[in-house]
Amino acid sequence: MRQKAYALGLMLLCSSALTGPGAAQALQKRVLTLEDARRVIAAAESEAQRNGSPGVVAVVDDGGWLIALERMDNAPMLASVELAPAKARAAAAYRKPTQALEEAINHGRIAAITAPGFVQMQGGVPLVLDGHVVGAIGVSADTPAHDQQIAEAGAAALGQGR
């Protein structure tokens, strides 16, 4: 009988802890919307047109899943359709620009090239809202410097209009 009373008391204590004033709050996660992805792509495309560097722009969510992809008219490389989303996936997974990954490889971190499924070349940039990575943009146009510049322009547009 005493054990039953103890068990009942413990259950009541636990249930009040879960529903009382100190109860744990559900976490709220910021997510990248399709509208956000379109705004990022539009800004990247505008930068690409300004530079005369058409290419492919991809936006993924924080898990690396494709939300939107745009292949601009006259994009010079067929491989860009694969490279842009792969750069975005790498930036989302590593939570850093792929330029940093490429530089690490170029400075002797050769083992990094063994990471399967990631393109560690300039042109992938995380998309950040309120200090949290919500996705990434990947760009494959003509040069590494332009890819990075276009991706950064797209990423900068995320905070605008939200």
Task: Calculate mean pLDDT across residues 69-84.
Answer: 94
Give the CATH fold of the 34-156 domain: Beta-Lactamase (3.30.450)
Of 159, 161, 162, 154, nearest to 60 by C-alpha is 154
Of 130, 120, 127, nearest to 98 by C-alpha is 120
Q: Provide the residue ranges of all domains of the chain, joining segments of one domain with +.
A: 34-156
- C-beta separation of 91 from 124 below 8 A: yes
Share of the chain above pLDDT 90, in %: 62
Of 43, 50, 60, nearest to 133 by C-alpha is 60
Per-residue pLDDT at 105 exceeds 70: yes
The CA radius of gyration of the chain, in Å to the nearest whole number, is 22
DSSP 113: G
Per-residue pLDDT at 3 exceeds 80: no
The per-residue pLDDT for range 10-47, each reduced to its tens digit, is 454 445 445 555 557 888 888 999 999 999 999 999 99
pTM as predicted:
0.81
